[in-house]
Amino acid sequence: MTELTDKQKDILKFLREFMNENGYPPTVKEIMAKFNFASPTAVTTHLTALEKKGFVKKNGNRARGSVPINGNKNYDIVYIPLLTNEVKSGLLMDITNETFALPKSIAQDERNFLLKVIDDSMIGAHIKEGDMVLVNPNNIEPDNGDIVVAKIQNNINEEIIIKRFFKEKDDIKFVSENKNYPPIKNEEISIIGKVVGLIRLKV
């Protein structure tokens, strides 16, 4: 592998530290902010050089797709899609075209997906607006108290909710972690999956 410039060494160090701390690599914007670059072109030029020299693995145009190669640690990277909270033909739509590189220890299963939180209804569970929840779509039989993602039918409208699941006899309800949001029950609801993780991006 070719010797690195001082700036490339600094960027590689930042990539590794960010990856170790967060479990996923930084975006071009975050690298720009860290090193006070004036444009994303400077970042991509350095990342391309690091890739050619064998220190970074880039994966197309995926968000957070520049993963540092560390000979002392195998991250076993899995690429997890970020889906929208919109519904079309009964399915979640992936119109964001974003994929996040996560260590398998965090992603857990390559069939899992990420969903962005759009309200504060689960703030009591430390799930904030703008966070991303990691969802296991194969787990649709949750236990009481589990946090789930579900599709709710309201007249002609459908929406995606993130709530705690509770079943008492024949009564199923979905409860927020915010007193300003009443429980939802006696609705046409189908569970999409169980929340198994949380990703909070640094601002």
| Residues with catalytic function | 121, 163
CATH of the domain at 62: 1.10.10.10
Please tell me what DSSP assigns to residue 22.
Answer: H
What pLDDT shows up at residue 36? 92
Give residue 41's identity as a one-letter amino acid code.
T
What pLDDT shows up at residue 141? 85
- Backbone φ and ψ of 21, nearest 5°: -80, -40
What is the token pair recorded at 23? 């479990």
User: Is there a single domain that holds both residue 94 and residue 130?
Assistant: yes
Does the residue 25 lie in any domain? yes
Domains held by the chain: number:
2
User: Is there a single domain that holds both residue 179 and residue 108?
Assistant: yes
Q: Over the stretch 87-124, which tens digit does the pLDDT of each residue have?
A: 655 555 555 567 777 777 788 888 899 998 989 999 99
The count of residues in the chain is 203
| Residue carrying structure tokens 């519904």 | 87
Cα–Cα distance measured from residue 84 to residue 62, given in angstroms and rounded to the nearest whole number: 16
Does the residue 1 lie in any domain? no
CATH of the domain at 194: 2.10.109.10
Does the residue 148 lie in any domain? yes
Domain that holds residue 156: 79-199
- Positions of the chain with pLDDT lower than 70, given as ranges: 1-2, 59-65, 69-75, 86-97, 154-156, 186, 202-203
Please tell me what DSSP assigns to residue 73.
Answer: -
